[in-house]
Amino acid sequence: MSTPRIHLIAPAGPCRSFYRAIGVASGDELVAIVQESVGDGYEVTARTELFDAAEDELLGGRTDDAERAADIEEALGDSSVTAIITLRGGAWFARILPRIDFSVMDRRTSPVSFFGFSELTPLANIIGTHANGLGYYDMGPVFLGYGLRRHAEMNPHLLEASELTARDWMRAELDKHFREFFVRCVALVEGRRSIEINAMLLAGKLSEDSRATFVGGNLAVLSAMIGSRYDSTIAPDGKWLVLEDYNDKPERFDRALAHFSLAGYFDRCKGVLLGDFHWQERDLVPAIVEMLRYHIPNRPDMPILFAPTVGHTWPMDTLPFHSPCEIARQSEANFVLRWPSLP
């Protein structure tokens, strides 16, 4: 029996800028760190040349669309691949979706878990709809460079005793948290890890105990899927919409929310789970809640929960799509989302 594979991908933004921070000189050395982290029970593979792609925003971003799509399709169709982990988000991904033949998943003989967020929102939702697919909305670990640094900036007490800068603190913590991320992914794949996410009720009503199934992700990327051939994978009927985004103006978030309201998504969903919204140091969650009042005027009781550990933030929790969870009340406004067991 062959060793199960964990396949690393970077189909959005490239990874070269991360190498120095983590202390490696190449994609192969990065793969070696992941292999060391997960142990000999898995073979870690990657097309590392795709990690090093040139990126020019004035010339279409990336020029390797066919290669990126083929890398994902091959991994999805290979039953020895037990997990596909995206190293980072970024840009230039959504346009390659039509190049990927997702029907290869129908011929799989074993499940595959996908981990990714932000620009990879479509993959987490699409893969999660397949019988042999589990879609986990979880950070690409290259995000740790941004996430740890911002965490230190927002919590200056972490720096006071050491006199470190936020960037220095990030570099000191990076290797540990990078390795821990892959250990957590393996624990989920092996069924040794349950998931709990704390959430606060910001608006509407929610019964004492409920069940929920989530779809969604990054607001801007998710909006691009509405009306596409992949619309059914984010269909909100009877489900909760997860929305998060960062570093953009409130007016642009409002335009994306308008796409959801004009498409009837807010009329069809059971509730909304907001993740982190921020613009540099500003917390924009209150602004998003106010916007939603205009987009759902006919549903004043629709529950809106806020989970601060979902989205472009650190610490970040894993959120499964298309997998039912329990919502348990802890106090008047505080709830816990629980996935006690996953396939």
Condensed to tens digits (0 to 9), the pLDDT of residues 323-338 reads: 999 999 999 899 999 9
Q: How many residues does the chain have?
A: 343
Give the model confidence (pLDDT) of 160-188 as tens digits.
Answer: 877 899 999 999 999 999 999 999 999 99
Are the C-beta atoms of 50 and 68 separated by less than 8 Å? yes
Whole-model pTM: value is 0.97
Would you state the pLDDT for residue 160?
Answer: 85
Of residues 111, 142, 191, the one with CA closest to residue 21: 142
Are the C-beta atoms of 89 and 82 separated by less than 8 Å? no
State both tokens at 340.
Answer: 């006690």
User: Tokens 């697919």 — which residue?
Assistant: 133
Would you state the pLDDT for residue 259?
Answer: 97
Would you state the pLDDT for residue 210?
Answer: 86
Give the chain's residues under pLDDT 70. Answer: 1, 343
Write out the E strands in 213-285: 214-218, 240-246, 271-279, 282-283
Round the CA-based radius of gyration of the chain to a whole number and report it.
20
What one-character DSSP code corresponds to residue 42?
S
Of residues 222, 181, 6, the one with CA closest to residue 93: 222
Delineate the domains of the chain, giving CATH numbers in brackets: 5-143+172-189 (3.40.50.10740), 195-339 (3.50.30.60)
Would you state the pLDDT for residue 343?
Answer: 66
Is the bond preceding residue 315 a cis peptide, omega within 30 degrees? Answer: yes
Are the C-beta atoms of 119 and 91 separated by less than 8 Å? yes
Would you state the pLDDT for residue 1?
Answer: 60
State both tokens at 145.
Answer: 């460079």
- Rounded CA gap, 316 and 185, in Å? 13
Are the C-beta atoms of 13 and 145 separated by less than 8 Å? no
Cα angle: 212, vertex 310, 111; to 5 degrees: 65
Alpha helices in 39-119 (DSSP H): 65-77
